[in-house]
Structure 1
Amino acid sequence: MKHPLKGIVFDMDNTILRSRIDFQAMKNATYQFLVSKEILSDGYDLSYHTTSTIVEEAIQTNRMSEELRNDMWDIAKKHEVCGMKGADLEPGAVEVLSKLKGRYQLAIVTNNSVEAAGIALRDNDISEYFDFIIGRELIKALKPSPDGYLRVLDEFKHSANEWLSVGDSWIDGKASISAGIRFIAYRSDKEKLKQMKVCPTGEVSNLLELMSLIEQFEEGPAIR
């Protein structure tokens, strides 16, 4: 059964905005903080982790006080706010958003804080394009958990097969697919996607290529 497309979920960093966040430094600082507080053990192979997966492992220990959680998130927020200052838009972002606005519901799901996301989107004059912006304060678990995407579906009362998502990272794809939403990979690391068993519905190297993929989705039962 064919379902008309109702909405599109975008990741923010390196999908809509060309992020200057030093994700490696943020991950290392978060991990070292958690080791220093004896929440996680030393010796993790961080190449298999993102900040969000490190955080999730820490939370799962059930040893995190509210004060420790706040201190942990302050590390991430410092890197996010700093890295988003002066962040440029990805090429074609405004053109694509202008074409999509009004035709579809548009949402952002980001592991960033709501504050950092809001500042970056306002500074680039694109916040008005989005109907719903979800940062980490609004979800129970970060990507690669599907919580943020499920929150979008609940907000708009649509089914998962009426939405597409776009993102650059395997965690975007994992979260989207786990929520039942088809995933479009944007300038993604194909080997990393394969390693993490993420199979995108489509791939684009330029945001403007999204329009033809969306047209294919509207015209046929599936994008190949």
Structure 2
Amino acid sequence: MKKQKCRYGLIFDMDNTLLQSNIDFAGMKRAVFELLTESELCKPDLDWRSYTASQLIEMARQSGRLRKETEVRIWDTVAEFEKEGMHGAKLEPYVTEVLDQICGDCHLVVLTNNACVAAQEALKETGIGHYFDYIVGREQMTALKPSPSGVHYILRHYPDVPAERWMLVGDSWIDGKAAQDGGIKFAAYKGSGEDMKKKGVYPVARFTDMRELVNLLL
């Protein structure tokens, strides 16, 4: 982890923002739902498709009935989907060029719901891990995105950079929700504008070419 004095901070989601993810998120969500149903932590008729996997897990946690061994099984299942999906992952177009251009101007942090070790390995394999000050995975959060827990964790790590000087870049409404509830700006890279609007997420900017991010920082 590198340290430098910067006036601004930029947080990146990882899957489908930095990396072209092959994670089967729908299959992961179904597997989590089935484990929760098996453990009688949610009803079989729950509309699980309208939730993220992290929301389903958080729902089980909030019930107060999630046993430690069940949670371990769930995270082991999630980790298998992540491991398979990140194998051979490729970068989104122009990511390296953009990171190389902006790395000296602001703190660069990754915030992902994936396991920290898996994220570190994927970023190292794709040759961009060295650009980032910090990689924050689910182990550092009290609740996964769309919770702002990870954003708050990062802001505490950089007390000299106020929230108004941070921006989160991500492809999903859960990234935008985490940013907004964490008190920082959100810029949407690709992703569904309709889904974001439905969830009350309003990016300060939308772009489909990573090179456009440089202009947002000027």
TM-score interval, smaller chain: over 0.9
Q: Deviations over 1:11-63 (max 9, x none)?
A: 00000000000000000001101101111111121232111111111111111
Aligned counterpart for 1:183 among listed residues 175, 186, 200: 186
Give the CA deviation at 1:5.
5.1
* Secondary structure at 1:206 match in 2: coil
CA RMSD of aligned residues (A): 1.1
Q: Pairwise mapping of residues 45-194 of structure 1 onto structure 2 (< 5 A)?
A: 45-157=47-159, 158-194=161-197
1:12/1:108 contact within 8 Å kept: yes
Q: After alignment, is 47-56 or 172-181 more displaced?
A: 47-56
Residue ranges of structure 1 left out of the alignment (5+ in a row): 216-224
**For the Cα contact (< 8 Å) 1:35–1:42, is it kept in 2?**
yes
Q: Secondary structure at the match of 1:108?
A: strand
Superposition deviation, residue 89 in structure 1: 0.2
Instruction: State how far apart, in whole Å, the 2-side matches of 1:38 and 1:212 are.
Output: 50
Conserved in 2, the CA contact under 8 Å of 1:193 and 1:199? yes
Q: Between 166-175 and 49-58, report the one with greater CA deviation.
A: 49-58
Please give the secondary structure, in 2, of the residue aligned with 1:207.
coil
CA distance, structure 2, for counterparts of residue 126 and residue 14 of structure 1: 15
Provide the identity percentage: 41
Distance of 2:110 and 2:44 partners within structure 1: 34
Number of residue pairs the alignment of both structures matches: 212
Distance 2:167 2:197 in 1: 20
1:40 corresponds to which residue?
A: 42
In structure 1, distance between residues paired with 2:32 and 2:101: 39
Give the counterpart letter for 2:156 in structure 1: D
Question: TM-score normalized by structure 1?
Answer: 0.92
Q: Which residue of 2 aligns with 1:24?
A: 26
Contact 1:5–1:163 under 8 Å retained in 2: no
CA drift of 1:125 comes to 1.2
Aligned equivalent of 2:208: 205
TM-score, with length taken from structure 2: 0.95
The residue number in structure 2 matching 1:13 is 15
Q: Tell me which stretches of 4 or more aligned residues in structure 1 moved more than 2 Å.
A: none
Kindly provide the amino acid, as one letter, of the partner of residue 201 in structure 1. Answer: V
Classify the secondary structure of the residue corresponding to 2:211: helix
Amino acid at match of 2:170: G
